[in-house]
Amino acid sequence: MEAWLATTTGSTKSLAFYIMANQDEYVYSDNMGAGMKIVVHDPDEEPDTDKGFFASPGFSSYASLHLTKYKYMPYPYQSMGGGYCLNTKDVDFKNQLEFHETYSRKACLRECKYRFLVSTCGCQAATDFAYYGRNMTLQNACRCSIPCEFNTYSASVTTAYFPSKPNDYFFQQMGFKDMRANFMEVRVFFDTLSYLKVEYQAEYDLEKIVATLGGQMGIFLGASLLTLSELIEFLLMAALVCCKRITKKKR
């Protein structure tokens, strides 16, 4: 699929989707809402279906996107949560995932969940396996580290009725019925072409440690030499005073 690059901002130049929910084909489920979930994710990563926003029939959803880039330091520096990130940018890195070409923590957890399901019941759940998703012990046993570099997208969503009365009449003339019950509009755009970059850096590296130690040693050595010179000067002055007193007494 060809990548499209955004060169403008604002809702007037947004990427628009017109989606049919087709509620007549819905079946009973725990989710009683109508519509669809939209997940905005990095093109090189698998979508995280636990995130995203919902769009409902009868509404226009305007999603203003914001990009945040994270860059952690590899081992031996700890990343968020006290663990160590996986340096996927390293030339020696080899992706150990079986069904995903690009490594991400979500993809790693997904493959771990599949292996757990197959080993438990020899099948694959038709829907998301909620027990696994709530069991942090099973997820921690997978040892799925976060990549040292990854991008996240957040969306600020506003809604309006869809379609408006003039447009509804226009759609009816074209043969579209029940627009409010089955159709929705989704517009995705960037509020700004800038992004937030969160980069972690070591407070002290080897160069800073050597420089700090050198500076401290310089201060202590300087103080020691100064103290020694003052001590010698004091002894000489004391000896000179003593010599003068002895000379006076002899006279």
Report which secondary-structure segment, H or E, holds 66: strand 59-71
The DSSP H or E segment spanning 241 is helix 206-250
Alpha helices in 61-205 (DSSP H): 105-121, 130-134, 136-141, 165-173, 179-182
pLDDT, tens only, 117-147? 888 777 766 555 566 666 777 777 888 888 9
Q: Which is nearest to 57 in space by CA: 36, 32, 31? A: 36
Q: For residue 127, give the 3-state DSSP assignment.
A: coil
Question: Looking at per-residue confidence, does 137 or 99 come out higher?
Answer: 99
Q: According to the model, what pLDDT value does residue 131 have? A: 66
What pLDDT digit, counting tens, does each position of 70-87 carry? 999 988 888 876 788 999
pLDDT at 60 over 90: yes
CA distance 245 to 242: 5
The encoded tokens of residue 225 equal: 């030499």
Give the tens place of pLDDT for each residue, 203-215: 776 677 777 776 6
CATH architecture of 11-199: Sandwich (2.60)
CA distances from 46 to 28, 61, 111, 141 (A): 27, 23, 12, 21
**Taking a C-beta distance cutoff of 8 angstroms, is the pair 10, 189 a contact?**
yes
Domain extent listing, the chain: 11-199, 205-251
Query: Is residue 53 a contact partner of residue 41, using CB atoms and an 8 Å limit?
Result: no
pTM of the full predicted structure?
0.70
